[in-house]
Amino acid sequence: MNIPVCSGTYIEEIIASLANLYDDVEKATHAFTARYGIACPPGCGSCCEHFIPDITHSEAAYIAAYLLFELKDEETIEKLYRHNGSGCPLYRSDTPFHCSVYPARPLICRLYASSAYHDKYGKTLFRSCRYEEAETMPKYLYFDEHVVTMQDFAYRLRSLDCDRGRLSLLSEILPDLLKQLQFIASLISHNDSEEPLVG
């Protein structure tokens, strides 16, 4: 994601770090789902209809930058500000994969039903999506070998934030980050438009 107004700011660093992390997640989950025959049913978006993800400050900044500067999607931004429902405010049934910000979606959305996890006994397992009824993925898998887990990437994600990756509901934190970025962008454009001083 190339965000010219954020050049040299902490937002630019966040975007670069998260882009690297998300690249690694995509490669790892693609290999995992291909190896174990896991796929979502075509056209399904049930998880997003009934779920609001918890995300970090960095992830909220990433999505906000994507919405404001890459997508420039005022309709989705307005919808976010007005949201008071129980599903994800970024869910849109008429978009590919049903997500308004699919390339910038947060970590949990990339890992859900696409990776294994460690349970409280230290076992590594995969459990299918709770909404999946079309049998496009196994219900349970147990692993002795090393496989990609949610925890592997969660630790990396949390190391990017100085508050150790405190999680907030997307619908609560994203409007704040949008306002912050809109403010930064307005300051930059104001400074750029000022007449240079002539000595």
Q: What are 76's two structure tokens?
A: 């989705």
Q: What is the DSSP code (8-state) at residue 71? A: I
CA distance 120 to 115: 16
CB of 195 to ligand SF4, least distance (A): 43
CB of 198 to ligand SF4, least distance (A): 49
Based on the shown chain and the rule CB under 6 A, indicate whether residue 1 belongs to the binding site for ligand SF4: no
CB of 179 to ligand SF4, least distance (A): 19
Stretch that binds ligand SF4, among 67-75, 85-93, 123-131, 145-153 (CB under 6 A): 85-93
CB of 90 to ligand SF4, least distance (A): 4
Strand spans (E) along 8-85: 54-55
Based on the shown chain and the rule CB under 6 A, indicate whether residue 22 belongs to the binding site for ligand SF4: no
Number of H helices, E strands in the chain: 7, 5
Task: Tell me which residues in 25-54 interact with ligand SF4 (CB under 6 A).
Answer: 48, 51, 53
CB of 45 to ligand SF4, least distance (A): 7
Stretch that binds ligand SF4, among 103-111, 127-135, 173-181, 188-196 (CB under 6 A): 103-111
CA distance 134 to 38: 12
Nearer residue to ligand SF4 within complex by CB, 57 or 105: 105
Secondary structure (DSSP) of 93-152: TTSGGGBTTGGG--HHHHHTTTSBEE-TTS-EEEE--TT--S--S-SEEEESS---BHHH
Position among 1, 99, 154, 185 found at the interface with ligand SF4 (CB under 6 A): 99
Pick left, alpha or beta for residue 22 (phi over 0 → left; psi -120 to 50 → alpha; otherwise beta).
alpha
Can you give the binding site for ligand SF4, defined by CB under 6 A? 48, 51, 53, 88, 90-91, 99, 105-106, 109
